[in-house]
Structure 1
Amino acid sequence: MSPEVFNLLASLPATGDSEDFQTLLETDLVRIERIVSDGQRSEPDFWYDQPHDEWVMLVRGEAVLEFEGGEMRELRPGDSVNIPARCAHRVAWTGPRTVWLAIHVFG
């Protein structure tokens, strides 16, 4: 049996009020997911504060990440950010039909 081909940009789901998270691969050490955003943003008082590292790349669209202390990072297609464990961050803004590739590294 040969491996199936998956296209990150094909069959994008409707997102509604929340982002769509699709796990593409998961092991004890890593989780790879596609995230589709369509104008969503983190709630004003919400911060991600993960116990593991996360690497994200913007594949399509536009987004702004905000880090604790007010630092903003604008992302365009091809931009990536390595977010260390316990680095508080939030999604400040996303454009229409924005696609992310996220890799969570455990351990």
Structure 2
Amino acid sequence: MASMRNVLGPAGHAAGRAPGRFTLNTDGARHPAENVLTVATLLIGILAFVTGFIVRAHMIASWAGALGFLGGLYTQYISATTAQRSLIIVGVVASFVGVALGIYHGGFVPGP
């Protein structure tokens, strides 16, 4: 009976990659547009999340959250790899929390 070590290959060298190297192109093909949209979704989501906790920044949180959420859904639709999808979901959830907090603190328009 074959052991799992022989089936999976040597540890640390999964799929022919160097150990410890992070990439969004886990399928071996290049996806530059998808990668840019993935990183943008993550960064906008982090921006919305952080500004969602600042009451005076409710407009930034609301608009960035809405943009990150809707843009993230589109990016999820066109994504090609699991690594991209993982980061996109983190960005979408952060955007959702940011837009919810932004709306709670005052919404999309400046207050009186």
Band the TM-score falls in, shorter-chain normalisation? under 0.3
More helix by share: 2
Whichever of the two has the greater Rg, that structure is: 2
Under a length normalisation based on structure 2, what TM-score does the superposition of the two structures give? Answer: 0.22
Under a length normalisation based on structure 1, what TM-score does the superposition of the two structures give? Answer: 0.23
